[in-house]
Amino acid sequence: MHVSLKSIVIIGAVLLLTWTSATQAREVVIGYSGRTIAEMPFAWASRKGFFKEANLDVKMIYMSTSIAAKGLMSGDVDYSTAMGGALRAAIAGAPVIGVYSMFKAQMYLVAQPRYKQVADLKGKTVGISVFGGAYDLVARTILKHHGIDPEKQATLLQIGDSRTLYSALSAGTIDSAILGPPYDIKAELDGNNRLFDSSEIFDMPFSGLATSKKKLQQDRAEVKAIVRGLERIRRYIIANRAEAEAFVKQFLNLNDKEARLSVAQMIRSFRDTGRTTDEAVVEFQKELKNNPAHVKSLLEIAAVRYRTDSADGLKYAQEALKLAPQLPFVHYLLGLLYTDTEDFPQAISELEIAQKYFKDTPEIYFVLGTAYIGAGRKEDAAREQAEFKRLQQRSAK
């Protein structure tokens, strides 16, 4: 049978239109809570088409951490870059989960030039983003680590995101602040002093990918595609530093030096695999063989084991407590682990200690309330749950 070239072209066009319609890119919403170096890989991966290759049309939308968490649960938001906020919501019982962690903690205590060490901040002001947030937790932990009671010997001020905190520090309205990149670098170049790196005490997921448990269960292929795109951009940044600096300069409105230092710091903070898994535990265990008193590795393993093997995690957290009883985060982590293993009296004991330092952190009231319920102390549980709701409402404003 003779088939004309014109017929072939028409048939091909029809097939192409049909295929294009059937494979229309799926819109994916990723919520982010600040324009910082942590959001740069997401924006650049989208710009370079790394997600489109998986037939995904990624939309980056600015929103607060609390709104992002609510959006994950309602299905209006597919993913959130605010890993810390999402994990705190998960601890409080929300059906959300962290699926990818790109960075080690990037939170630094930076102070006015006249302050040379953390001890100098006794009686001074420390700017944080929001009470109950990651910066609040880091500020309290750093101060306590250096012998300063954050409740009585310093004043924590809720200012806003890193850019707003940087502006307040530059204006001299606060003595110090917890800053994330690139604003820690900008502040240091301005002549301020970087006093402490939070990762020296403990690590926590700084930025990555969180989603709902429902999304993970029902659309695992999409989740994997997003993670592959992020892993690809992470490797691309390492291999193409000059190009990354050019994008960061435009994305964050930095000068050449700020862009160069920001990218260098970002690369240093990348996790090797982007995940906190049993492979990471093996690395921490190797570190402990060389240095059995390495508190950070003990806490890392304990945190990874929470909810997966809390009984094993307890061994590491208990050892960390022996070495660093002054760290309030150790007591908080022990409280979580004891609650998960249903040792409620021990959980209550540890959480009540931690609560003295994290009075504005909603999640600690939720977990303590859960422990009280397990111990049969219903009135105490009701009190903690009421305070949890009050603090959550305040953080959402």
Q: pLDDT digits over 267-278, tens only? A: 887 876 544 444
Q: How confident is the model at residue 154 (pLDDT cuts 50, 70, 90)?
A: very high
pLDDT at 18 over 50: no
Is pLDDT larger for residue 5 or for residue 379?
379
Q: Which band of pLDDT confidence, cut at 50, 70 and 90, is reported for residue 288? A: low
**CATH number for the domain running over 108-200:** 3.40.190.10
Q: How far apart are CA 163 and CA 171, in angstroms?
A: 12
Instruction: Judge whether 279 and 269 are in contact, CB under 8 Å.
Output: no
Q: What is the CATH number of domain 278-396?
A: 1.25.40.10
**pLDDT confidence of residue 275:** 47
pLDDT the model gives residue 283: 57
**CATH 3.40.190.10 region(s) of the chain?**
7-102+206-269, 108-200
Mean pLDDT score of the chain, rounded to an integer?
Answer: 81
Q: Which residues in the chain are classed under CATH 1.25.40.10?
A: 278-396
- Rounded to whole angstroms, how far apart are CA atoms 160 and 58? 27
Residue 198 has pLDDT above 80, yes or no: yes
Say whether pLDDT at 99 is over 50: yes
| pLDDT at 21 (0 to 100) | 41
Query: Of 16-20, 119-123, 250-254, 356-360, which range is least confident?
Result: 16-20
Q: Is 204's pLDDT higher than 80?
A: no
Average pLDDT over residues 379-395: 81
The answer on pLDDT for 163 being more than 70 is yes
Contact, 66 vs 395, CB < 8 A? yes
Separation CA 177–CA 185 (nearest Å): 13
Q: Is the pLDDT of residue 1 over 80?
A: no
The Cβ-side half-sphere exposure at 128, using a 13 Å CA radius, reads: 24
Quick one: pLDDT at residue 282? Answer: 56
CATH of 7-102+206-269, one of 3.30.70.2860, 3.40.190.10, 3.40.50.2300, 3.40.220.10: 3.40.190.10
Terminal Cα-to-Cα distance of the chain (whole angstroms): 73
Across the strands, what pairs with 216? none
At residue 15, the pLDDT reads 40
Which pLDDT value is given to residue 277? 45
pLDDT tens-digit map of 55-82: 888 888 888 777 888 888 888 999 988 7
Backbone angles phi, psi at 36, to 5 degrees: -130, 180
Residue 63 main-chain phi, psi, to 5 deg? -160, 160
Written as one letter, the residue type at 221 is A
Could you count the other beta carbons within 10 Å of the beta carbon of residue 138?
A: 26
